Amino acid sequence: MFCTCIFTFGIQPPKDTNPCPIKILAPSLFLLTRRTVYERMGEGAVHRRGEAKFEEILASFRRSLPGDVGGIGCFIGIVRGITGTGRNVRSLRYECAEDIASKLKAIADDAEKMPGIRRASIHHVIDELSPGDDTVYVLVAGRGRREVFRALEGIMERVKKEPLIWKKEVTQNGEYWVQE
């Protein structure tokens, strides 16, 4: 839901002068963009193998979009079958810190503050995976493709560096923690 009203973050107008039909309980949960207030809905989630279905995530994501969205960009990470040094991968195990979902949500929230971006969602699988299995879904909706592609790249750079996610690669030559 959105309305066209202006308010100053942290300062609420007197009750009788607020032209906005939305009761502003937590001003920090709103994003002011071109005189339109959108509820921020950045999403970060962690799943076990088989729990996250891309089609369901995309359908839910699309239902939440405001009317000015001109495009959706998606990144789907998958387990490689061959390492950079040519070894066959048997499996890849992802492990994470307990608060990973909140960190992924914070990254999505930050992306939604970028010009032209209306919605961002990050879903990461934490489990033992096989080559070809999906590892991460990143969805970004925005007014145009340039903004969407820029946000996708920025999100993935942060997902690779910031949250405490570790991966152990198992090959025919042994297993080791991957350092990126």
Co-location of 21 and 72 in the same domain: no
Asked if residue 164 and residue 81 are part of one domain, the reply reads: yes
**Strand 128-129, strand 165-171: pairing:** unpaired
**How many separate helices (H) and strands (E) can be counted in the chain?**
3, 11
Identify the pLDDT of residue 149.
98
Same domain? For 68 and 26 the reply is no
Task: Please check whether residues 87 and 13 belong to one and the same domain.
Answer: no
Q: Are residues 68 and 128 in the same domain?
A: yes
Question: Predicted confidence band at 41 (pLDDT cuts at 50, 70, 90)?
Answer: low
Res 69: pLDDT: 96
**For the chain, what is the domain count?**
2
Mean pLDDT of the chain: 81
Q: Of 12-26, 34-48, 82-96, 127-141, which gets the smallest average pLDDT?
A: 12-26
Quote the pTM value. 0.75
For residues 177 and 95, the answer to whether their CB atoms sit within 8 Å is: no
Which pLDDT does position 99 carry in this prediction?
Answer: 85
Question: What is the model's pLDDT at position 12?
Answer: 37
Q: What is the mean pLDDT of residues 147-176?
A: 94
29: domain range?
Answer: 1-39
Residue 20 CA to residue 3 CA, distance in Å, equals 7
Q: Are strands 43-47 and 89-96 parallel, antiparallel or unpaired?
A: unpaired
Q: Report the pLDDT averaged over residues 110-135.
A: 97
Least confident of 13-22, 50-59, 101-110, 114-123: 13-22
**163 Cα distance to chain centroid:** 12
